[in-house]
Structures are given as structure tokens and as C-alpha cells.
Amino acid sequence: MASLKIEVRGLEYVVGGARILAGVDAGMPGGEITAVVGPSGAGKSTLLRAINRLIEPSFGEVHLDGAPTSKLDPLELRRRVGMVFQVPALFGASVEEAVLYGARLCGKDASPEQLLEVVGLDPAMAGRDPQTLSVGQQQRVSIARALALEPEALLLDEPTSALDEAARRKVEELVGDLNVRLGLTMVLVSHDLSQVERVADRVVLLDEGKSLGEWSREDFFSGAGERARRLISGRL
């Protein structure tokens, strides 16, 4: 296994008296795709937001390349660790503005046409209103926006759940391609075990805010992960 790019230690998140994360320990190796799975309400999306410091953990720590992220400026962290949400939210009157939104906030130069090409979209789309695109195209624009910051890792929160089958497969292929071509470390939240089997290198299981185990993809989809798969299938 590669060295850990992201490591979560004893992470807890308490809000309004409810423990959304109740003790998560997990490692995401550099250059690999780690899938975070579990029943609905297990804390999967909350974990991603804590890694990106969109929320601040109540206890525990997240490390990036061995250093605690609590010591980083949040904007610097989000430049290094990008995030793509379940439903794309694009800002700007054109696709170009949407792609460059984060880069411009950080004073970073990027080519929107080049980024659109990287995510498999026609560079000529740069002048279009992003709201005229399909949801699948909008999601790929969201990925291009994250890539404009040249992140070291990318967090993907159920990025295909709002897409039809054809668009879902295109995004899955894109995720795999970016991982191989750019060496991007990726953390993917998914409720679709067939997608996890197609895309992930490693699997982390959460339930009721706690981490219950980590497996290689091969082990998770063998007898070693049968109990974990039953837990997910029986409670989703």
C-alpha cells in the first residue's frame, strides 16, 4: 500500500447534542481511490466535509501528508484538497466563469478550454450558459472547476447519484482516468457497491458515525468483506 495522503484519527463531530461522527479512523493512500461506504446516515458525507474543513471536527484530527490540517489555512487546504458535491452548483454566466470561479478567487491562472478537454467536454462549451448543460455535463464542469486549482487530492460526495446510467458511467471513467493520468488521490462516497467495485482501490466502512474497517477492493468483494456488504445492503 502507498503511503497515506490523508489520515483521519479519532474523528468526532457533535452538533445539537447528536454525535454525527463518533470515532472515525481511516487512511487514504496517495494516488489511490478510496471509497467510503455505509448505510444511510452513517456519516459518510460529514466525513468528507470534515476532511475539507467545511465543518470543524469536535474531536480528533485529519492529517494531510502527515501534517495536521488544523494548522493549515482553510483556503490553502481546499486548494490542495478539492471537493465535488452530489448536486453541481455552478456560478457565473458562462461555463468559462464557472470553471475558473475558484481559480480566480485564489489568483490562479488556468485555461478553461484545456480543463474542459481534460474532463471530456467540448472546449467550445466555454461560452455557454452552464444552466443549459445536462446534469452530467454540469458535474464534469464541477470537476474541471476543482482541477483548475491543481489539487493533490479530490473528495467526491456521491458525484453520480443524480445522473442517468450513461452519464454515471462517463463520470466513473473520468474519475479513473484522472486518477491514473494525474496521480490524484481520490476519496469517493458512494452508496452503489457495483460502482465501488468498478472504481475503487480501497474501501472504508462507516456505520452510525464509526469506522468499522478498511479493505482492499479485492478483499472487500471476497469472503473477507461479506459481512460488511450485508450490513450495507440490508440497511440502505
Domain containing 147 equals 31-49+73-235
- Over the stretch 138-157, which tens digit does the pLDDT of each residue have? 999 999 999 999 999 999 99
Percent of the chain with pLDDT over 90: 80
Give strand pairing partners of 197.
none
**For the chain, what is the domain count?**
1
Whether residue 200 lies inside any domain: the answer is yes
| Calculated CA dihedral for residues 10, 229, 35, 200, nearest 10 degrees | 140
C-alpha cell, 228: 460488511
CATH of the domain at 81: 3.40.50.300
Q: Across all residues in the chain, what is the average pLDDT? A: 92
pTM of the model as a whole: 0.92
Whether residue 2 lies inside any domain: the answer is no
| Pair 203, 225: CB distance under 8 Å | yes
Whether residue 25 lies inside any domain: the answer is no
Give strand pairing partners of 67.
64
Contacts of 32 (CB under 8 A, 6+ apart): 2, 179, 185, 186, 201, 202
- Over the stretch 43-75, which tens digit does the pLDDT of each residue have? 999 999 999 999 999 999 999 999 999 999 998
3-state secondary structure of 94: coil
pLDDT reported for residue 234: 66
Whether residue 67 lies inside any domain: the answer is no
pLDDT reported for residue 236: 40
Question: Is residue 35 very low, low, confident or very high in pLDDT (cuts 50, 70, 90)?
Answer: very high
Whether residue 60 lies inside any domain: the answer is no
Query: What Cα–Cα distance (Å) separates residue 156 from each residue in 15, 31, 36, 75?
Result: 23, 15, 10, 18
| Pair 94, 126: CB distance under 8 Å | yes
- Three-state secondary structure along 159-215? CCCCCCHHHHHHHHHHHHHHHHHHCCEEEEECCCHHHHHHHCCEEEEEECCEEEEEE
C-alpha cell, 178: 484522472
Question: Is the pLDDT at 211 greater than 80, yes or no?
Answer: yes
pLDDT reported for residue 141: 95
Whether residue 155 lies inside any domain: the answer is yes
Whether residue 26 lies inside any domain: the answer is no
Distance CA 128, CA 94 (A): 5
